């Protein structure tokens, strides 16, 4: 029992540092805007000019349930569909925009691209 308590106590001490490390390394990498597919570049322009968007869910809250992006309060992230050629539905490609310090996704400069329906993200480098 004493050994179990010691192990749990040690994990409690390590966990906060592990969370901070996860926050810093929450994105997989970066992608230059020039390397995005044309459809994604077009959606980025629409985000910055407030639409119009092709899908009703565009601009809706992205919950970050996968915890792949830095943790933020609910409503901070918004998701936008990037058309996938040949797909009959919304497809798997998305841009997720963060509100930034100013609270506006149009000017935050915080944009993430996923081409595999949130299994991975790359921060868009402009």
The alpha carbon dihedral of 1, 15, 62, 96 has a sign of: negative
**Burial classification of residue 92, based on how many CB atoms lie within 10 Å of its CB (0-12 exposed, 13-18 middle, 19 or more buried):** middle
Distances (CA, A) of 88 to 1, 85, 118: 57, 9, 19
Which residues are part of the catalytic machinery?
A: 79, 117
For residues 93 and 120, give the distance between their C-alpha atoms in angstroms, rounded to a whole number: 11
| DSSP 8-state secondary structure symbol assigned to residue 88 | S
């Amino acid at each position: 029992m004493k050994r179990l308590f010691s192990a749990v106590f040690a994990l409690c001490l390590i966990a906060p540092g592990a969370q901070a490390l996860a926050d810093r390394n929450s994105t997989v990498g970066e992608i230059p805007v020039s390397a995005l597919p044309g459809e994604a570049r077009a959606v980025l322009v629409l985000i910055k000019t407030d639409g119009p968007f092709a899908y009703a869910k565009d601009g809706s809250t992205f919950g970050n349930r996968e915890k792949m992006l830095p943790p933020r309060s609910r409503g901070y992230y918004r998701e936008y569909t990037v058309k996938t050629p040949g797909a009959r539905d919304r497809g798997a490609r998305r841009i997720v925009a963060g509100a930034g310090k100013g609270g506006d996704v149009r000017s935050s400069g915080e944009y993430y691209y996923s081409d595999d329906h949130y299994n991975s993200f790359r921060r868009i480098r402009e």
